[in-house]
Chain A
Amino acid sequence: MPARTSLDARAPRGIPAKAPRDADAALPTRRCVVATGIPARATSAVLASARAAAPLPASLAHVKRARASARTKGTTEVVVKLASEGASASARGDAESDAAVRADVLERHADVIASVVYADVPAEGPEDRETWEKACAIWPVSLTAPAERETETPSDEEAAYFRKWTKQACEGAKMSGNCAIIVDPARDVEIARGVDESATHPLRHAVIAAVDLAAKRDVAMYPEKEHVEALIEARRMEKLERDALEIAGVGDDAKKRKREVQTKGSAMTEIMGRPYLCTGYDVFLAREPCIMCAMGLVHSRLKRVVFAVCDNINGALSGPSGIRRLHGVRSLNHHYSVFSFDAEEI
């Protein structure tokens, strides 16, 4: 029977993908280069060129690339490109540093572009009307469908399961600083366990070590040829299931996404007899993972991430947004749920 620890007195708390926003706080923005003074009739041509020369990243899909000028009636402003890092002194210089933008936008449409300036656009797609109105005051954006949210309060049973394994991770972290345990929740068994070995290898953090051991276990248990053929078959089945879903036109997008994720896990497990990478597994940590480890867990398709202690400096899951709250970044191809015990120490 392990010693009673501070975790016994604590309940795990779900950390939602999005931090509750302070209603008065300014919205985060990204800087862009904008062409202004474009006569309305020329807007669509400039817009098409800008889209082709410098597409905006998926994370800015909510941003409308053109708006009517508030200053000069009858003219429009078009987002030419994202501002470069350490933005140049002049917006025009920044735009010209990109060869495609210079030739296909600035030079081709030189006769209709009056000036090139910097402007800020909202960095995140608004999910409610109030935020949308605030965002549109900065630059026009479209309303974004809210991401599907799980109920983030674990049941008593889940809490006990979380506590059991998180305690083990804390125990395992006593010597090294951090420990990650990958667990199959269906069977409540440990798949792999890694401790922080960054003293001997700079990138071998607990998560990287655990994921590596899980992979080696898989290679040892299942021979190469069988693995590759099963993987191809599973991918094919997954595709067929997805097509079937699309044909059936199941519900809204969010529902479809959820179904898709579920079928993905099940087809893989059924055909291969085990999940693809770490799909469906949970990981328990003593300390909140850094950005490298948090993204490593995304790549490995873990289902839930549970840790004892939050890290307010290097942690990548409990901060306000972006790099400090990775599971809230929508463009990623996989999203796990996150829980913390908010313990003071391991």
Chain B
Amino acid sequence: MRVALAQARLALDEWEVPCGCALARDGEIVAVGRNATNRTRNGTRHAEFEAVDALLDAHGGDRAACRFEDVTLYVTCEPCVMCAGAMSALGVREVVYGCANDKFGGAGTVLDAHARGCGACGGAGGVGKPYDARGGLFEREAIEMFQEFYVRGNPKAPTPRRALREFPPRAST
């Protein structure tokens, strides 16, 4: 989780909503990711998607070699509904998060994508795999980073503090 927090810090420095994550397998960190929605102008490029792509790239795109069933996701903020569904589609072992996400949290706070699973929508059928999700690890540190993001002003913006509180929208994790 310290690695995930460091990733969130990097995201903060890049003017992204500060969420970061790490994928661990057999007690080792095999991939990291941080939110990149502003840079890519793609609202789905959350930390989890970045990390999953990094792991796939490391294995030459070979899904089986990634052994997602042995992977634990450590993420600073509860995965949103999309990411919680994605973790089910991958069939990860477990998700551990920092702070809860009471607007979009998909691992128990708003919806329970971790328990219900996410099946495919490509016509091949199959149902999603449920997994365990726990929160509260380094919760305070994760929240503090979000607070820092939402209160700090932008020297470039004409009405610094308030204008930037809304920039970008709180589409985290």
Interface residue ranges, A against B (CB under 8 Å): 55, 57-59, 85, 173, 176-178, 196, 198, 200-203, 205-208, 211-212, 214-215, 218-219, 227, 229, 231-232, 235-236, 238-239, 277-278, 286-296, 298-301, 311, 313-315, 322-323, 326, 329, 331-333, 346
CB pair B121 A299 closer than 8 Å: no
User: Is the C-beta of B111 less than 8 angstroms from some C-beta in chain A?
Assistant: yes
Q: How far is the CB of A131 from chain B (nearest CB, A)?
A: 21
Q: In the docked arrangement, what's the CA distance between A331 and B101, Å?
A: 11
Q: In the docked arrangement, what's the CA distance between A202 and B128, Å?
A: 12
A-B contact pairs, 16 of them (CB 8 A): A57-B100, A203-B49, A205-B120, A212-B42, A215-B40, A218-B41, A277-B41, A277-B42, A290-B128, A299-B80, A299-B171, A300-B44, A314-B119, A314-B127, A314-B128, A346-B123
CB pair A287 B159 closer than 8 Å: no
CB pair A178 B122 closer than 8 Å: yes
- Total number of B residues with any Cβ neighbor in A under 8 Å: 62
Max chain A C-beta neighbours (<10 A), residue from B43, B103, B106, B125: B43
Quick one: which of B143-173 are within 8 Å of A by CB?
A: 154, 156-159, 162-164, 166-171
Interface residue ranges, B against A (CB under 8 Å): 37, 40-45, 49, 52, 56, 61, 63, 68, 80-83, 85-86, 89-90, 100, 102-106, 108-113, 115-116, 118-128, 132-133, 154, 156-159, 162-164, 166-171
Residues of A within 8 A of B40 (CB): 215, 219
Q: In the docked arrangement, what's the CA distance between A300 and B171, Å?
A: 10
Task: Kindly list the 8 A-B residue pairs having the minimum CB-CB distance in the complex, ordered from nearest.
Answer: A314-B119, A292-B85, A295-B82, A215-B42, A177-B123, A299-B43, A196-B122, A177-B122
CB pair B127 A313 closer than 8 Å: yes
Residues of B within 8 A of A291 (CB): 81-82, 85, 106, 111, 113, 116, 118, 128
CB pair A290 B110 closer than 8 Å: no
CB pair A311 B86 closer than 8 Å: no
